[in-house]
Amino acid sequence: MDAPVLKTPLPGPKAAALIARDSKFVSPSYTRDYPLVMAGGNGAVVEDVDGNLFLDCAAGIAVNSTGHSHPEVVKAHLDQAQKYLHMSGTDFYYEPQVRLAEVMAEIVPMTGGVRTFFANSGTEAVEAMVKLAKYHSKRFGIIAFLGSFHGRSMGSLSLTSSKTTQRKGFGPLVPGVYHAPYPNLYRAPAGMSPESCAQDCVDWIEQQILGHLISPDEVAAVVVESIQGEGGYIVPPIEFHQRLRELTTKHGILLACDEVQSGMGRTGKMFAIEHFGVEPDIIATAKGIASGMPLGVCAARADVMDWPPGAHASTFGGNPVSCAAALATIKLLRESLIANAAEVGTHLQAGAKALMDKHQIIGDVRGKGLMIGIELVKDRKTKERAIDARDAIVQKCFYKGLLVLGAGRNSIRLSPPLVLTKSQADAALKILDAAIGEVAGRT
């Protein structure tokens, strides 16, 4: 399918009618960025209910890793659905869940054996990660990072610090959570080296949090996004995770990596933490693991996942159809899509960086694989955030047939399906170029 192909004004009549129905009956808490009403999809192309075709660089918020309705994933759905839909892995056994746990043990970057807990989503995987860390360590404190997004249930929300609107009205949150700065090279003081930027953030934990707020022997885990997602697609210096591993090891604190968005091949490796040469103790992942089916995973070193029966469970977590989809997804990732994410991601990021020569509003382009952030600023010297312009550009892209989303206060995220081709990447860049030009002008 070629895209974009726009046949009607947006939204079209069928889309407008459905949006009107939605406004009467669906929760107003959802953050719809533009009036897309999906009818179908294939690979990196989305069709709406009026027959318009869009190039997808959002992937259902980095979920559709193998593209929309990949035939091998669909076949895995159908094959499993024809056998049975549900039997609750909490109380019974079934082969798809066991097989997926075996595969997770093969792909998670930990040595010494791995065990896996299955949930339904990213926030549930993070909840499991935090509960496991507390149970295993017999400690209560958790250290997270400013700008982080870990989910919206009460425990994960207590770690989240991306936007105040996500926390407003829900306090008091879970106690014992402390936030530290996340290293952002683009916004570090001029002339600061990557190593110094990383060390400053780790020193802040050691000197401020552990020195003034909580004793190290009361901290269960440091929970960190390997690459910060919702906060702006921020790639930390390689030294950051290495220093963080040294700090946690020193104090007997567990290192828990949130790979809900950055995992499952998106960065050109199965897990983003592999770019940093560090082994965590616990990993949470979801989003791209099952190509759109609801599934969250908390994987840990076998000696860490030592909680007894009944300590944590989930009726629907590890649903057999979701497990079958995940197994098909991981097979495709290993065979070709991780490599494609690395290759096409390099091409897409180079193209985005080339746009900096035309558009002064682009302050920074960063990322790994097909997890790319484009930060927009009013002035490159002051780095004042171009928040309204970012929102307008996201809208312009939609009306030109390209699906993108924001990240952080003033960045655009490019997180397409991992099946994206170089020609599709070029088409996306052409639309992005035009949208930025219309909103911000050219220099």
Mean pLDDT of 277-295: 97
CATH code for position 143: 3.40.640.10
34 Cα distance to chain centroid: 20
Residue 441 — very low, low, confident or very high, per pLDDT cuts 50/70/90?
confident
Q: How many helices (H) and strands (E) does the chain have?
A: 13, 15
Mean pLDDT of 70-98: 97
Count CB-CB contacts under 10 A for residue 125: 32
Provide the residue range defining the domain that includes 146: 86-318
Residue 190 confidence (pLDDT): 87
pLDDT digit string, tens, across residues 173-227: 999 999 999 999 999 998 899 999 999 999 999 999 999 999 999 999 999 999 9
Give SS3 for 403: strand
Q: Does residue 108 carry a pLDDT above 80? A: yes
Contacts of residue 179, defined as CB under 8 A and 6 or more positions apart, other chains included, come to 143, 144, 145, 146, 148, 161
Query: For all residues of the chain together, what is the average pLDDT?
Result: 97
CATH code for position 43: 3.90.1150.10
Is the pTM value of this prediction over 0.75? yes
Residue 2 — very low, low, confident or very high, per pLDDT cuts 50/70/90?
confident
One domain for residues 263 and 377: no
At 38, the amino acid letter reads: M
Residue 442 confidence (pLDDT): 59
Residue 443 confidence (pLDDT): 45
One domain for residues 343 and 197: no
Contacts of residue 157, defined as CB under 8 A and 6 or more positions apart, other chains included, come to 150, 151, 166, 167, 170, 173
Count CB-CB contacts under 10 A for residue 72: 15
The pair of structure tokens assigned to 350 is 């180079």
Residue 1 — very low, low, confident or very high, per pLDDT cuts 50/70/90?
low
pLDDT digit string, tens, across residues 316-344: 999 999 999 999 999 999 999 999 999 99
How far apart are alpha carbons 180 and 161 in whole angstroms?
10
**Number of domains making up the chain:** 2
One domain for residues 179 and 268: yes
One domain for residues 120 and 251: yes
